[in-house]
Chain A
Amino acid sequence: MTARAMMNLRSILIGSAVFRLVLILYGEWQDAHMEVRYTDVDYLVFSDAASLMASGSSPYKRTTYRYSPLLAFLLIPNSFLHRAWGKFIFSASDLLVGYFIYKILKQRKVAEDLCLYSVMVWLLNPFTFTIGTRGNCQIIQAAVWYGLVVHFRIYPIIYALPIIVVLDPRYVQLGKKPLLVNWKSNTQKPSSQSSEEASTRYNLWTAAKSMFSKERILFGLVSGGTFFLCTGLFFHLYKWEFLHEALLYHLTRADPRHNFSIYFYHIYLQYGHQLSLVEKLISFLPQSIVQLVLVSSFAQDLPFCFFLQTVAFVAFNKVITAQYFVWFFCLLPLILPWSDMKLRWEGLSCVGLWMGAQLHWLLWGYLLEFRGQNVFLQLWMASLVFLLANAAVMAVFIRRQRCSPIFLQMKVTDAKGGVKSE
């Protein structure tokens, strides 16, 4: 990392840290002086759960605490240091993610200015800094972290299939560092790397045929083992309450209260009635079809696949809250260097469409919740518009992405000691 690059990255990180500190201080002021609190209600849930844990009780005694005990553990200092400790943790995590984005892009030889712009897309994103300051976390190492991440927040389980697809022995081998495909701009001629990139199409059929490679089996065993170890440990400490609140609740959640999901009004109108098998299947199919098609089409370009899967997962989910947007915002900087989308005017149109659809929903939500007007129908229609906006933005991203496999094909040594490519 050159001195100039360090200075630029450092100044972005320091500026973002100062800005977040100001927001945290402002949040404390707003909470104390205004009727509408700056701090998210979920932060109060985490803090209460942390206080219970500090006093030796189960964090699940706090109603609506539906997270890993690890989160409450991290926020224990809220009780004896300052109630804003957790906000500092979350904001520090934002900065850490920004640093990771920079490092990941540099590993793939992305140009310096693009790296910094991508970091800024994360750190200066209004969703990122408001959600954080309002209080709204070699195959074995990767597998351990993956298992831990799935324990912490269940949604990364959707990445299991593309990870398994990508762990093809031609590209990832035990004991060897995989070779990353370097970034190249859309004006560059193809480099010598390109002849060694994947010559056969990745698809689910190819993956199915070589499913049981040792790399895949090891990854599955280690990540699954980590997940079940964490689950077992906390089940031993907090029993069925932990299992229900932290895991099972999320698998069966269907909230009739208004949220961005298109399903909220349908769930409210049908609440208390047993849904037929056909109805359950119909609500399950769009999400499943989209996930399978995205994995089948884009697994090779892992960051892009993760990004699309996450946007789709959130958009088609039965419950959507603003905090879920952070799940894909952190992945956006990792795919931007490979996008041919120009900020003017295609990029701005996507931003405008997505933000506009959201603001439209928020307007009707405000009238319902804070003015007491019956606008359920209008609010539901706004959620339909939001889903369509998400689908349209995804289509534009797909159209403009220079999809690039993440790994190079590895050279294999034959029996005589010569090197050959498969």
Chain B
Amino acid sequence: MRIIGWICWRWKMGIIWKFFFCCCFIVVTLSIYGDCLSLEDCILKSYFSKNEVLTDSSFQDLLQDELSKFSCKLLPGDPNPQLTLSGLERRLIGEGSHRHLSSTIQLQVPPQSFPLQSCKLVMIERLPSGVFADPFELDHLFHHGAYAGIGVFGDTNLELPSVSSNRSAVEIHMNFEHSISSGAMSELGIRIDLPLHARYAPLHESGYSEVAFGTPDLLVSCSMEGSSGMRSCLIVPSHDSNRLRTDVVWKIPCGIMSHTNVVSVVTFATAFVSTLVIVFASVLYPKPR
């Protein structure tokens, strides 16, 4: 500190630098970063602990395993608690490379009562190749209360074009507003907005690349009283496919292969011309004596 103080005094910046360094010696342990924020059980975390790359078939297999492992039946012969997905509407909001995928979900909860508590909706969005979710942006939204929990998995590199990147997936948990064990039929509407960004798409002569979104995986996660205490369980709501409007296509502008030769030649020619301008100016005009 004495040597730093001497140097600072000599350069007449002692006060400023000492202030900076004193502040910087205070270290506080703070943890705000997580990949599965406040989710006790994250299905995608289980998937990516066993798989490096997201594929639909292997994900479906894991999901079936999770559903049978964490069934909400009290006894093996009991029927599954009935929940119905009465409506799913999906829209892509915005223009350009940064948009929101909006999902409006309608759930019908039956009037029978069963020992399920603290239920929440789990939506797993398996993103197509060509778009990605920014984990830091979602972290910011999570801390502003937009979600009960959120996690991004897979290839979360923010910079690579889609030819050099793998798919990613987002798991979102949203709390219900009504208790599922109330005595009356409930119609629940939940809207989830997911900000997404486009990667640079592969080249195509049309100038646009189309990225199609599939149907998200929708589950309900609840806590139930089991033989050995409270445990989590999963329900897949039944649904009528005709009532689900899920076609969403994102047209992303992309480079055109036929431009390649012209672009290369003209780029280097312009660099050459600019070099000549600077070289001639340096040679022709007066130099330091």
Task: Name A's B-contacting residues (CB within 8 A).
Answer: 44, 48, 51-52, 54-56, 61, 63-64, 73-74, 76-77, 79-81, 89, 92, 96, 197-198, 201-202, 255-257, 262-263, 265-266, 268-272, 279, 282-283, 285-286, 289-290, 293-294, 296-298, 300-301, 312, 315-316, 368-377, 380, 384, 387-388, 390-392, 394-395, 398-399, 401, 403-405
Residue of A nearest to B31 (CB): A55
Q: Are A54 and B27 in contact (CB under 8 A)?
A: yes
Chain B stretch 126-167: residues in CB contact (< 8 A) with chain A: 136, 156-159, 161, 163-164
Q: Are B278 and A384 in contact (CB under 8 A)?
A: no
Residue of A nearest to B156 (CB): A63
Give the chain A neighbours of B136 by CB distance below 8 A.
44, 48, 63
**Can you add 14 more A-B contacts, CB < 8 Å, to A92-B16, A197-B289?**
A265-B259, A265-B267, A272-B163, A286-B274, A286-B275, A298-B287, A300-B288, A316-B274, A368-B96, A369-B96, A370-B96, A370-B98, A372-B95, A388-B274
Query: Is B249 in contact with chain A by the CB < 8 A criterion?
Result: no
Give the chain B neighbours of A405 by CB distance below 8 A.
288-289
Give the chain A neighbours of B277 by CB distance below 8 A.
388, 391-392, 394-395
- Binary contact readout B232-276 vs A (1 if CB under 8 angstroms, 0 otherwise): 000000000000000000011111110110011011101111110
Interchain CB contact (< 8 A) of B288 among A52, A202, A266: A202
Interchain CB contact (< 8 A) of A263 among B158, B259, B267, B272: B267
Q: Are A388 and B259 in contact (CB under 8 A)?
A: no
Residue of B nearest to A203 (CB): B287
A278: min CB distance to chain B, Å: 10
Give the chain A neighbours of B251 by CB distance below 8 A.
372
Q: Are B289 and A371 in contact (CB under 8 A)?
A: no
Query: Is B1 in contact with chain A by the CB < 8 A criterion?
Result: no
Give the chain B neighbours of A297 by CB distance below 8 A.
282-283, 287
Give the chain A neighbours of B270 by CB distance below 8 A.
262, 384, 387-388
A40: min CB distance to chain B, Å: 13
Q: Are B28 and A272 in contact (CB under 8 A)?
A: no
CA distance A283 to B281 in the complex (A): 22
- Binary contact readout B162-188 vs A (1 if CB under 8 angstroms, 0 otherwise): 011000000000000000000000000
A248: min CB distance to chain B, Å: 16
Q: Are A294 and B282 in contact (CB under 8 A)?
A: yes
Query: Is B60 in contact with chain A by the CB < 8 A criterion?
Result: no
Give the chain B neighbours of A198 by CB distance below 8 A.
288-289
**Contact (A63, B282) CB under 8 Å given A51-B33, A297-B287, A372-B97:** no
